[in-house]
């Protein structure tokens, strides 16, 4: 079987997937409640899509395809409300955050579905250790080649998404000092990292995917855990580096930021702005900086080879995107992110709650209330 055709469609559409945590409201540890939640949610129409994830204490929601930030935000809000209501009826807390701060991976139960059981058998403890929670954003592409162009042009902005979404400072009960510890877990997988530098879909499908497939290492695009990967059956590229933020409002803002960026990069592409493999020289370094220091990171510009504070780079990009956001109707989203740059990301909030409430449980409690929309 070769790679399926890229189902190109309308450019700059967007869709969001969020992996969410299910927590016990007594001890605020993860709880294996996915089956019960899905049963209850299945009894009435859900405003979007909801499905199980690899362990029983995760649940994944996804939106429809949107072009408008307001409509995306509206749907995410409705899905959030439906989840919170179901959680209330079952005594289960739902919350965001890229990691659960003190769960023990050895105690997680693998969801009873063939694909998950297979992954568990192959990856062993990695599968359970992969109890981390990400936000994935899909952007629709007018053609497969456009998708590959955007995928590689975006690489320079990847640290922005890591820093803005970072919400996983704690792991196994300790502060890792990373703002996003989650991505370190993703890096443990053999097929993680970045996509190979190929700009034509034919080359990608035949030269790369075809060869990889014949090695027997992969069967489908799903087996790649890249930071950004093409999703041919949707006709999208999928950004996968974001931690699930603590609120759906921030998740929507991140998606709109990506949409506006893609609009700008598309225009640059049409004007003949090239992308080059050398852009990846500093990729892993910048990625590390963003994971470790969040908005306080220092980036190296891939072309100018000079250092610049990530915070300044985000603010400059937000200013640059203003006309694009005005056209797309997402100026409000950029305002949300400007406030994040000023007042700190969710990793900072979590650390603050940890200090105020005197513990990990109080911190998760605050995260559950934040997801409900009770505060922040």
Partner 1 sequence: MMLESLGNPLAGMAWPLALLLAWLAGEAISRWLSLPRVCGYALAGFVLASGQLGLLPQPAGTPVALLADFAIALVLFELGQRINLNWLRHNRWLAVTSLVEAFGTFIVVLLVARGFGLAPLPALLLAALAMSSSPVAALRVANELHCSGQVTERMLHLSAFNCVFAVLVFKAIAGYWVLTSAGGLLPALWSSLAVIGVSAGIGAMFGVAVPTLLRWQRRGGGDATVIFAIATLLLVSLTHALQFSALLAALVFGLVVRYRRIVFSGADRGFGTLGSLLTILLFVFASATLSWSQVAQGAGLALAVLVVRTLCKVGACVAFAGLSGIGWRKGALTGLALTPMSVFAILLLEQTRHLGIDVFAQVAGLGLLVLALELLGPVATQRALILAGEAGREEGG
Binding residues vs partner 1 (CB under 8 A): 24-29, 31-33, 35-36, 39-40, 43, 86, 88-91, 102, 104, 107, 109, 112, 357-359, 361-362, 365
Q: For residues 29 and 68, which CB has a smaller minimum distance to partner 1 in the complex?
A: 29
Q: For residues 233 and 374, which CB has a smaller minimum distance to partner 1 in the complex?
A: 374
Give dist(CA 24, CA 30) in Å, integer. Answer: 6
Of the candidates 270, 126, 258, 283, which has an alpha carbon nearest to the alpha carbon of residue 196?
Answer: 283
- Shortest Å, Cβ 102 to partner 1: 8
Sorted by sequence, the CB contacts under 8 Å of residue 76 that are 6+ apart come out as: 16, 18, 48, 63, 248, 249, 251, 252
**8 Å CB contact between 94 and 83:** yes
Q: For residues 30 and 72, which CB has a smaller minimum distance to partner 1 in the complex?
A: 30
Q: For residues 44 and 284, which CB has a smaller minimum distance to partner 1 in the complex?
A: 44
Give dist(CA 127, CA 189) in Å, integer. Answer: 9
Q: For residues 26 and 206, which CB has a smaller minimum distance to partner 1 in the complex?
A: 26
- Shortest Å, Cβ 36 to partner 1: 5
- Shortest Å, Cβ 30 to partner 1: 9
- Shortest Å, Cβ 26 to partner 1: 5
Q: Is the dihedral of CA 357, 362, 367, 372 positive or negative?
A: negative
**8 Å CB contact between 242 and 18:** no
- Shortest Å, Cβ 117 to partner 1: 14
Phi-psi region of 283 (alpha: psi -120 to 50; beta: other; left: phi over 0): alpha
- Shortest Å, Cβ 121 to partner 1: 18
188: DSSP letter:
T
Q: For residues 43 and 304, which CB has a smaller minimum distance to partner 1 in the complex?
A: 43
What tokens were used for 245? 């933020």
Rounded alpha-carbon distances, angstroms, from residue 74 to 64, 70, 71, 194: 11, 6, 5, 32
Q: For residues 82 and 162, which CB has a smaller minimum distance to partner 1 in the complex?
A: 82
- Shortest Å, Cβ 106 to partner 1: 10
Across 107-175, where does the E strand assignment appear? 134-140, 170-171, 174-175
**8 Å CB contact between 245 and 251:** yes
- Shortest Å, Cβ 89 to partner 1: 4
Q: For residues 90 and 212, which CB has a smaller minimum distance to partner 1 in the complex?
A: 90
Give dist(CA 126, CA 54) in Å, integer. Answer: 12
């Amino acid at each position: 079987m070769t790679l399926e055709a890229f189902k190109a469609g309308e450019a700059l559409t967007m869709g969001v997937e969020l992996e969410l945590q299910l927590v016990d409201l007594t001890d605020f540890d993860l709880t294996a409640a996915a089956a019960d939640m899905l049963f209850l949610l299945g009894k009435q129409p859900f405003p979007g899509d909801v499905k199980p994830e690899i362990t029983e204490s995760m649940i994944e929601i996804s939106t429809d395809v949107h072009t408008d930030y307001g409509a995306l935000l509206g749907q995410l809000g409705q899905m959030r409300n439906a989840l919170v209501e179901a959680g209330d009826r079952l005594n289960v807390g739902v919350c965001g955050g890229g990691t659960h701060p003190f769960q023990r991976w050895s105690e997680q139960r693998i969801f009873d579905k063939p694909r998950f059981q297979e992954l568990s058998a192959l990856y062993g403890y990695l599968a359970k250790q992969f109890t981390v929670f990400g936000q994935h954003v899909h952007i629709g592409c007018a053609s497969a080649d456009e998708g590959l162009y955007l995928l590689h042009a975006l690489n320079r902005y990847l640290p922005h998404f890591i820093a803005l979404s970072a919400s996983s400072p704690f792991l196994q009960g300790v502060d890792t000092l990373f703002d996003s510890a989650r991505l370190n877990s993703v890096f443990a997988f053999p097929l993680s990292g970045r996509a190979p530098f190929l700009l034509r879909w034919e080359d990608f499908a035949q030269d790369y995917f075809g060869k990889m497939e014949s090695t027997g290492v992969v069967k489908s695009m799903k087996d790649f855990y890249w930071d950004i990967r093409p999703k041919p059956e949707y006709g999208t590229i999928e950004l996968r580096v974001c931690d699930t933020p603590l609120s759906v409002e921030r998740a929507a803002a991140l998606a709109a930021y990506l949409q506006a960026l893609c609009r700008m990069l598309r225009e640059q592409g049409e004007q003949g702005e090239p992308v080059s493999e050398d852009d990846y020289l500093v990729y892993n370094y910048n990625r590390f900086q963003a994971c470790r220091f969040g908005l306080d990171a220092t980036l190296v510009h891939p072309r100018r080879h000079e250092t610049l504070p990530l915070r300044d780079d985000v603010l400059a990009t937000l200013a640059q995107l203003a006309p694009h956001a005005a056209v797309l109707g997402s100026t409000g989203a950029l305002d949300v992110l400007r406030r994040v740059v000023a007042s700190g990301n969710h990793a900072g909030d979590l650390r603050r709650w940890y200090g105020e409430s005197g513990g990990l449980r109080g911190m998760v409690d605050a995260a559950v209330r934040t997801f409900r929309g009770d505060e922040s």
